[in-house]
Structure 1
Amino acid sequence: MSFGGKKFRSRRQQLAYEASLAGRYQKLMKKNPFLYFGVPFCGMIVLGSYWLAGFTEVKYEREDRRINEMNEEDLLKIKKNQRKFDIKDEYYRLQGLAEEDWEPIRVTRLEGESENVWDTSPKS
């Protein structure tokens, strides 16, 4: 049975509870809660972060190892497949794009849509 969050115990049950480890801990925690709850809690968080750091380190080391395992043959294949780069050749190649056959075509406008043409001729 519960009264306001406190468990009802007979006198004999209460003395047995106070003699138990949980009862002694609760009595100490009522006197100084930070020392008996806050410090162990913060300590567990700090120790847990150090303990978990090992797992994350293994994860990132494995990924680095997988990336760095490229052997010399793979590097030679990559070097072979690369196109020689010359800035002058690239410049002239890009200039040649303008020589392709294409013609600007004006898009037909819908009815009532503005032509967006400014008349620069003098008005008479």
Structure 2
Amino acid sequence: MPTFQSKSFTGESRINSLTQRIRQHPFLLFGLPFIVVVVGASFGLSQLTQTKFDHRDMRHKKVEKEEALGIGKDRRKLSIQEEYWRLQAKTEEDWEQVRIERPNGSDQH
């Protein structure tokens, strides 16, 4: 029965060659990732800043529309609780029941 030829594991030699290259060129391990992070962060921050300015401009345009319509600072703030108490304070004598005519075609007794 023939025996197989023994070959050494080449993965170890590849790892050694990679570590030698990194030692010869430390830019690949430290400099390149640093530059990628700085450039990527610059693009990301520019998008966030643009979004912030767009939101602020939209809010200012809304205020300008209110000013054009004549809505001023003198308008009363709406409070649900105050409206509730105002409606509760009204008595039943403040309104009058008015009967309206029935629409044509509805003959219900």
Scaled by the length of structure 1, the TM-score of the pair is: 0.41
TM-score (norm 2): 0.45
